C-alpha cells in the first residue's frame, strides 16, 4: 500500500522537532554552502528543515521539510543497498568497509591500497558501487531513481540535470579516481558513461520527508515500504554499520560521538539517520563545516538523540 507524506503516526515527535528548530533559528550564520558546484553555492546556508518518519510511513516535520534539495552523497547509501540486494557480498572484493581517515576524494590511500577504495561512501568507493550497479542493471541511475520514488512514495522525484552537468564540468577529480581504480581492475564499465550515471545519481532532488521515508527500509531491518524484503536482517545491520563508521566523510567518529546513530550526509546539506526498529530522521541545512557535513544538521541530530534518548549507545 503506497503511503503519502501526510500519513499520520509520527506526530509525537513534533514537539522535539519544534524545540530543535527554535534552537537552530536562534543561532544562524554557521557554515558555508558547498562552493564547488555553482548550483549549490547560491543556496542560503541558514535554511533548515527536519522530518521524522516512523516504521509505518507516518512522517512529520518542521521548517522547510517539504523543500527539495540536492541529495548528493546521501544517494550512495541507496546505491549500496541496491547492489547488495542484487549480488550480496561479491561487492566487497572491489571495495572495503573501513573508515578512510582521509578527505572524501583522496587518492593517497587508494594508491597504498592497490586501487580498492576504503569504503562505499568515499567518492572512489561510490564509483565502484555505481560501476557494479550499472553492470547488474544496465541503467544504474534510472534504477536508483525508481527505487527512491517507490520508497518515498513520491513519483515526481527526478534528476537535476543542471547540477549533474555542473558536476561533470568540474569532474576531473572524479575522472582521475575512476581511471585510477580502473587501472587496478576494480572498475570495468567505460568511464565517461559511468561518470554520467554517477553525477546524475548525485543530482537527485528530494525533501526531508522523501528521504526519511526512503531510508525506512534500514529502520525496518531490510523491509521495503510495500512490505517486500530488499535486504536480509543481517544485510540491513551491515549497511547501518557502514553508515555508522563511514557515513559522514572524515567525521564519522565525531558524528558517532555526538549523535550516536548510523547516518549519511551529502554536500547539499542533507543528513539521514536511522534509529533501528524505531524511526528515521532527515535534516537539511546547506551550511557545511570544513569536512563537508551540515553544521546545523549535525547539531540538530545531536539534540534529537539527547532529547529523545534514541541513540543506539
Which range touches a copy of itself (CB under 8 A), out of 25-33, 73-81, 112-120, 203-211? Answer: 112-120
* Residue 284 Cβ vs a copy of itself, minimum distance, rounded to whole Å: 23
245 counts as binding a copy of itself under rule CB under 8 A: yes
Which range touches a copy of itself (CB under 8 A), out of 12-20, 25-33, 133-141, 166-174? Answer: 166-174
**Which of residues 5, 76, 94, 118 is near a copy of itself by CB under 8 A?**
118
**Which among 253, 198, 218, 208 has a CA at the least distance from the CA of 76?**
198
* Residue 207 Cβ vs a copy of itself, minimum distance, rounded to whole Å: 26
Please give the residues from 294 up to 313 whose contact with a copy of itself meets the rule CB under 8 A: 306, 309, 311-313
Buried b / exposed e over 107-134, threshold 16 CB at 10 Å, is eebbeeeebbbbbbbbbbbbbbbbbbbb
253 counts as binding a copy of itself under rule CB under 8 A: yes
Q: Nine-digit cell at 30?
A: 554557521
* Residue 259 Cβ vs a copy of itself, minimum distance, rounded to whole Å: 8
Q: Which residues contact 86 (CB under 8 A, 6 or more apart)?
A: 132, 133, 136, 137
Q: Nine-digit cell at 8?
A: 499520520
Q: Are 203 and 157 in contact (CB under 8 A)?
A: no
| CA 66 – CA 33 distance, rounded (Å) | 19
97 counts as binding a copy of itself under rule CB under 8 A: yes
173 counts as binding a copy of itself under rule CB under 8 A: yes
Annotated binding site for substrate: 73, 123, 167, 174, 198, 249, 267
| CA 245 – CA 242 distance, rounded (Å) | 5
| CA 1 – CA 15 distance, rounded (Å) | 28
Of 46 and 167, the one with the shorter C-beta distance to a copy of itself is: 167
**Which among 295, 297, 293, 245 has a CA at the least distance from the CA of 266?**
293
**Which of residues 71, 73, 119, 280 is near a copy of itself by CB under 8 A?**
119
Residues that bind a copy of itself (CB under 8 A): 96-102, 106-112, 118-119, 170, 172-173, 175-180, 182-183, 233-234, 236-238, 240-242, 244-246, 250-254, 256-258, 260, 262, 276, 306, 309, 311-313
Amino acid at each position: 500500500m503506497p503511503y503519502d507524506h501526510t500519513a499520520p503516526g509520527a506526530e509525537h515527535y513534533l514537539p522535539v522537532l519544534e524545540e530543535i528548530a527554535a534552537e537552530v533559528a536562534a543561532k544562524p550564520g554557521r557554515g558555508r554552502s558547498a562552493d564547488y558546484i555553482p548550483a549549490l553555492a547560491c543556496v542560503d546556508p541558514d535554511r533548515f528543515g527536519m522530518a521524522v518518519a516512523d516504521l509505518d510511513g507516518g512522517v512529520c516535520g518542521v521548517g522547510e521539510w517539504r523543500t527539495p534539495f540536492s541529495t548528493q552523497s546521501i544517494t550512495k547509501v541507496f546505491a549500496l543497498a541496491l547492489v547488495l540486494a542484487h549480488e550480496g557480498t561479491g561487492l566487497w572484493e572491489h571495495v572495503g568497509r573501513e573508515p578512510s581517515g582521509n578527505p572524501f576524494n583522496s587518492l593517497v590511500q587508494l594508491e597504498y591500497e592497490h586501487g580498492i577504495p576504503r569504503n562505499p561512501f568515499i567518492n572512489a568507493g561510490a564509483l565502484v558501487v555505481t560501476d557494479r550497479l550499472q553492470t547488474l542493471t544496465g541503467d544504474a541511475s534510472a534504477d536508483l531513481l525508481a527505487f527512491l520514488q517507490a520508497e518515498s512514495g513520491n513519483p515526481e522525484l527526478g534528476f537535476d540535470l543542471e547540477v549533474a552537468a555542473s558536476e561533470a564540468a568540474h569532474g576531473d577529480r572524479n575522472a582521475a579516481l575512476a581511471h585510477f581504480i580502473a587501472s587496478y581492475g576494480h572498475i570495468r564499465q567505460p568511464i565517461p558513461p559511468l561518470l554520467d550515471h554517477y553525477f546524475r545519481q548525485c543530482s537527485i532532488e528530494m525533501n526531508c520527508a522523501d528521504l526519511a521515508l526512503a531510508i525506512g527500509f534500514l529502520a525496518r531491518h531490510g523491509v521495503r515500504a510495500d512490505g517486500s524484503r530488499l535486504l536480509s536482517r543481517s544485510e540491513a545491520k551491515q549497511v547501518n554499520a557502514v553508515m555508522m563508521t563511514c557515513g559522514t566523510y572524515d567525521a564519522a567518529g565525531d558524528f558517532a560521538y555526538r549523535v550516536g546513530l548510523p547516518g549519511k550526509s551529502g554536500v547539499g546539506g542533507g543528513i539521514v539517520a536511522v534509529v533501528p526498529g524505531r524511526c528515521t530522521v532527515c535534516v537539511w541545512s546547506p551550511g557545511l563545516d570544513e569536512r563537508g557535513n551540515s553544521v546545523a544538521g549535525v547539531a540538530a541530530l545531536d539534540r534529537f538523540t539527547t532529547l529523545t534518548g534514541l541513540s543506539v549507545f
